[in-house]
Amino acid sequence: MIALAQTQPFARGGNRLCFVHPQDAHRCIKVRRPDFSLADRRRKKGFPKNLKPLSSFDDNREEWGVMQSLNRNLGEAVYQCVSRCYGFVETDMGKGLCSELIRNGDGTIAQTLKKELWDAGFSDELRQAVADFVQRWEAVGVPSRDLLLHNLVVQRERESISRIVVIDGLGSQGLVPFFWLPRAVRQKKIARKVANLYQRIDKLLGQRGQKEFPGYHGLLFHNDAPPSNQGNSSQ
């Protein structure tokens, strides 16, 4: 049993809290928010989605299934641009999903693309990093929901950007499984998600004159550097 309840999460999503794994600083554990149950999620949905079983609203269960599919269909290549997933662990906050925690060369947790853009704009370096990410994404052929700016993190080595990695929002919600579709249809779907990504970047850049960061998605609650003897990097 891994104790998380008395520690501070480093990030929060709409449905989950993210904690640094107490025994491995290069892994994180995602658990459901205790203030927002699966029943609460189902109640917010309209008909007919509110008729689905509670298990269908479990983000951890869905993500684990998606990651198994990606590994099966795309193999090692997918981890060039997607964080790894290691399966479930038992915690004092319920069953948690254990994933790779993307850290920078100095050990700090990598910031989201949303935060990077908000702080410094779309620099030439960041623009090139996004272009490199898109090229890999399309070449590998990764299915995703919308590529949201807070679901992409920017990993740095010695102040320079080394890569951009997707940490959430994977999988396709179409009626026909993504990998059953003809290659041309898959590529078209991916291209549309990429186009939407650039639209989101432009929209956020247009909001930078505001005083406050738009929402809490994409913010770190803490950004600790692990001790040199804690855990081994999996990157």
Q: What is the pLDDT of residues 183-214, one digit of tens each?
A: 999 999 999 999 999 999 999 999 998 889 99
What is the predicted pLDDT for the residue at 18? 96
Q: What is the pLDDT of residues 144-191, one digit of tens each?
A: 999 999 999 999 998 899 999 999 999 877 778 899 999 999 999 999
Q: What would the two tokens of residue 163 be?
A: 């890569």
Beta-strand pair 85-91/24-32: unpaired
pLDDT at 34 over 90: no
Residue 55 pLDDT class (50, 70, 90 cuts): low
Distance separating alpha carbons of residues 96 and 18, to the nearest angstrom = 9
Q: Kindly tell me the burial class for residue 56, based on how many C-beta atoms sit within 10 Å of its own C-beta (0-12, 13-18, 19 or more).
A: middle
pTM above 0.85, yes or no: yes
